[in-house]
Chains A and B, each alone.
Chain A
Amino acid sequence: MISVEGLSVEIGAQPILRDVSFALERGRVLGLVGESGSGKSMTALSIMRLLPRGAHLSGRVALEGRALGALTERQMCDVRGREVAMIFQEPMTALNPVQTIGDQVAETLLVHGVAGRAEALARAKDRLARVGLAPDRFPLSRYPFELSGGQRQRVCIALAVALRPKLLIADEPTTALDVTTQARILSLVTELVAEEGMACLFITHDLGVVAEMADEIAVMQAGRIVERTAPAALPGGLRHPYARSLFAAASHVPARRAATPGAPLLEVKDAVRDYLLPRRRIFGPAPRFRAVDGVSLTVHAGECVALVGESGSGKSTLARAILGLDALQGGAIRLGSAAVSPAMTPALRQRMQVVFQDPYGSFNPRHRVGRLVAEPFHLGGKPADAEARVAEVLEDVGLSASDAHRYPHEFSGGQRQRIAIARALVTRPDLIVLDEAVSALDVSVRARILDLLADLQARHGLAYLFITHDLTVVRAIADRVLVMKGGRIVEEGPTARVFDAPAHAYTRELLDAAPLLPAA
C-alpha cells in the first residue's frame, strides 16, 4: 500500500537518512525503533514532505502506486491529512492553545472541503467520541489547556483519523505520557488501525512498546534500517549486532549483590507537604493541595530503594522535602539521628547528595567541570586537597582527571550524567537521591550508567533512593520498591515480591500497563 524505496536525506553535507526502504500493508503496524538521532522522525517527515528547510530528499515514496515525490506542494497538501496523517510526541504543545478542540478536529474536514462547517463539527463530535472523549464530558467548546496530556493526545488522534487516512504515522505518541495512559493510547491506536484498515508507521525509542504492538519491527541506526524482524522472533531472531546490543541494553540488569541492609539511615515519618493554589476568591483563603499525604519510609545504609509513581503522584515533591529543600507541613524526616529541614546544618547536607534527570540542565553552562563537581564543598569548606578529590571522583565515575578543565557542553548526555554522579560523590555522602537520573538517557547509555551505579554502591557502601517512573529500571537495580499514588505509598516490599505478586490494585495496573520485553 505504501512503499518507501531508497529514501535518503541530507542537510547540508550531513547525511541524515541513508537508503531507507520498507513497505507496509493496510491494517498492519510497522514499529520503527532506534536511539535518539537515528533518523526515525526524519523518515516520518520525509514521507509527509515536511522536512526542515535546507534538507535534500531523494528516493521514492509511493502511496498505492502514486509517487508522492512527483506531486506539487499543493497536491501534497491534499494528501496530508486525507491520505497520510500524523500524530506527534508532545501532546501538550501539539494543539493550538487558542482554538477549541472541536474547531481543530473539524478543520481537517474543512481544509479538505469534504464538509461544511456544521457537518464538520458534527463529525468532529463523532470522532472525538470514538477516541474516548464523550461529548457530555468533553464538549467541542473545550480548549486544549482544559485537558490532560492523554486527553490531548486523543484529540490529536481524532484530528489525524478524521478523514480515515490510509497511513497513520505516529511519532513517539506516548513518550511524554505516564505508563497507564500510554497503555490506553496504545490500545486505542491498535483498535483504530484494525477498525479503519489503516497502515500505521509507529515510531518509538521504547523497545517494549514495539514488541507489544507492532506486526513488524525495523531497527534504525545512524540513518539506516539495520534489522527487520517480527516481534515473535525477539530477541533470539536478531542478526545485526547493533540490534542485538540494543535489545540486550534495554533489559540489562547490572551485576550486583543484594544488599545486606545496615542500620536505618533515612527515616521519613508521616510526611505531609501542601502547596498553596492560586486564590479562587480575591480575599478568600488560598486553597491547598496536598501533594504528599502522610508518607512514611525507611532507607537503610547500603540499600537501594526505588520510589515508583506516575506524574502527579507526589514523588518529586517528596524528594525535595527529603533533600531539605522544602519544609514539611507535618511529620518528620531524619537522616541518621538528625532532623532534615531547609535549615539543617551543612554537615548534615554533606551526607546526602542528589543526581537529577536532565543531563543538559543540571550544570551551570558557564562553569568548568572542576568547579561544578567541587560545588558541594561549599557545605564543609573547601578541603586542602579539593583538586585531588575532584580528580578522584572523576576517575571513579569513568572520566579522566583532565576533564575538570572542560565545559559541560563538550560532553555527551551519558558523560554529563557521570559528571553529575561525580558531583554527588565528592562530599562522600551516605545517601544519594537519584531523581529520574537515567530517564532521559538512551537505552545503551542507561545500561552503562546503571552498571556504574551498582559498582559505586558496592565500592562505597552507598544507599540510593531511586525515584523513577520506569519499572524496567526498578527491576534492574532496586532491593526494595515503594509504589506511590496520589501522595500516598500504596505498596511496599522487596522488588521480586512486588513484581511477581503485587498486592495493591494500582501496582497491578502499573505492571500490566508497562510494556515489557520478551525475556532473553
Chain B
Amino acid sequence: MRAPVSLVLGAALTGVFALAALVSLVWTPADVTALAVGERLKPPGTGALLGTDQLGRDMASMLMAGARTSIAVALVAVGIGMGAGVPLGLWAAARRGGLVDEVLMRANDLIFAFPALVIAILITAVFGPSAVNAILAIGIFNIPVFARVTRGAALTVWSAEFILAARCAGKGATRISVEHILPNIANLLVVQGTIQFSLGILAEAGLSYVGLGAQPPTPSWGRMLAEAQTFFYSSPHLAVLPGLAIVLTVLGLNMMGDGLRDLLDPRLQRAVR
C-alpha cells in the first residue's frame, strides 16, 4: 500500500524535532545554562546560528533542549492516558451495559469537566509548579479520552460474529479483549495517540507559558515565549522561533495522524477487499 503524502511529510517534520530532542541529550551547539549578558539579544546569523536570547543564551541550543521538554512531557502524558485509559475502556466494553461500564463512563464524564489547565491549576496550587505536575495534569486529562475511544471502538468489535465464535471456543472476556479486540482497535489508538501527543505539546506550551510547567533553568518553548513577550518588537526572533517550533511539531504530528488514519482506515481496506 502506498503511504499518503501527509504521512511522509508529517513523519519527516516530527522526526526532525524528535531527532533534535535526542541529540540535545548529548550535544547542543552551546551550553543552555551558560549566561552571557554581553552577547544578549543577538539576531540570527550573527555569531549564533539562530541568535541569542535576553540572557545571551544560544537560541538554537535552547530550542533543541526545549524540544526535549515538550516531547518528553507530551509522550509521558500520552503514556499515562493510554496506560490507564485503554484497559479501562476495554473493561467497560467487556461489561457493556453493566454497573462497571456505567460507573467508568460517568467518572470519565466527570474528568472531562476538568480541563487540563484546571487540573494543573489545582495541582500547582497545592504542590507548586513543575514539569512533573504538568505531565500529571495532561496525563489525567488524556485518560478519559483514551477510555472513551477504546470503549467505542471495542463495542463495535464486540458485536462482530467472530467474537461469538471465540466465545463458542470457550474464550473468556479477558482473553477475547487481548486477542481479538485490541489488535482490531490498535489502528484507532495509534491515530488517537498522535492526536493526543500533539495536543500534549500545545498544552505543555500553554502551561509553561503561564508558569505552571517546567521551571527554570529547564528550557521550554512555552516559557521562552513568555519571556520573549516584552522583547517581541525589538527582537522578534525570540518569540517567532519557539512559536514556529511548536507549530511545526504539532503540524507534523497532526499530518502524521491524518496520514495514518487514511492508511489504516478499515473502510478503505474494505474497499480494497
Is A228 engaged at the interface, CB distance under 8 Å to the other chain? no
Q: Is A353 in contact with chain B by the CB < 8 A criterion?
A: yes
Contact A378 B170 (CB under 8 A): yes
Does B184 sit at the interface, judged by CB under 8 A?
Answer: yes
With A361-B161, A362-B162: A325-B167 Cβ-Cβ less than 8 Å: yes
B165 to chain A, nearest CB (A): 6
Decide: B161 and A364 in contact? CB cutoff 8 A.
no
Q: CB of A379 within 8 A of chain B?
A: yes
B162 touches A364 (CB 8 A): yes
Looking at the assembled complex, report how far the CB atom of B98 sits from the nearest CB atom of chain A, in whole angstroms.
11
The answer to whether B183 touches A366, judged by C-beta atoms less than 8 angstroms apart, is yes
Q: Which among B164, B170, B184 is the interface contact of A366 at CB below 8 angstroms? A: B184
A149 to chain B, nearest CB (A): 19
- Contacts known (A364-B184, A378-B170); A423 close to B161, Cβ less than 8 A: no
* A440–chain B nearest beta-carbon distance, Å: 11
Taking CB atoms, residues of chain A closer than 8 Å to B160 are 361-362
Q: Which B residues touch A356, using CB under 8 A?
A: 161, 164-165
Whether B162 lies near A349 (C-beta < 8 A) is no
Q: Mark B167-180, 1 if CB is under 8 A from A, else 0.
A: 11111000000001
A-B contacts counted at CB < 8 A amount to: 54
Chain B residues bordering chain A, tally (CB within 8 A)? 16
Contact A354 B184 (CB under 8 A): no
Residue numbers in A under 8 Å from B164 (CB-CB): 320, 325, 354, 356, 362
Query: Can you name the residue of chain A whose Cβ is closest to the Cβ of B171?
Result: A378
Q: A364-B180, A364-B184, A366-B184 are in contact. Are A379 and B162 (CB under 8 A)?
A: no
Residues of A within 8 A of B161 (CB): 356-358, 361-362
List the B side residues contacting A377 at CB < 8 Å. Answer: 169
For residue A506, CB closer than 8 A to chain B, the reply is no
A515 at the interface (CB under 8 A from B): no
Q: Is A330 close to B, CB under 8 A?
A: no
| CB of A88 closer than 8 Å to a CB of B | no
| A residues less than 8 Å from B180 (CB atoms) | 364
Sampled A-B contacts (25; CB under 8 Å): A320-B164, A325-B164, A346-B170, A349-B170, A356-B164, A356-B165, A361-B161, A361-B162, A362-B161, A362-B162, A364-B162, A364-B166, A364-B180, A364-B184, A365-B184, A365-B269, A366-B183, A375-B166, A375-B171, A378-B169, A378-B170, A378-B171, A379-B170, A409-B269, A409-B273
Contacts A362-B161, A364-B184 known; 9 new A-B pairs at CB < 8 A:
A323-B168, A349-B168, A353-B168, A354-B164, A361-B160, A362-B164, A376-B170, A377-B169, A378-B171
Using a CB–CB cutoff of 8 Å, the interface residues on chain A facing chain B are 320, 323, 325, 346, 349, 353-354, 356-358, 361-366, 375-379, 409, 420, 423
Binding site for A on B (CB under 8 A): 160-162, 164-171, 180, 183-184, 269, 273
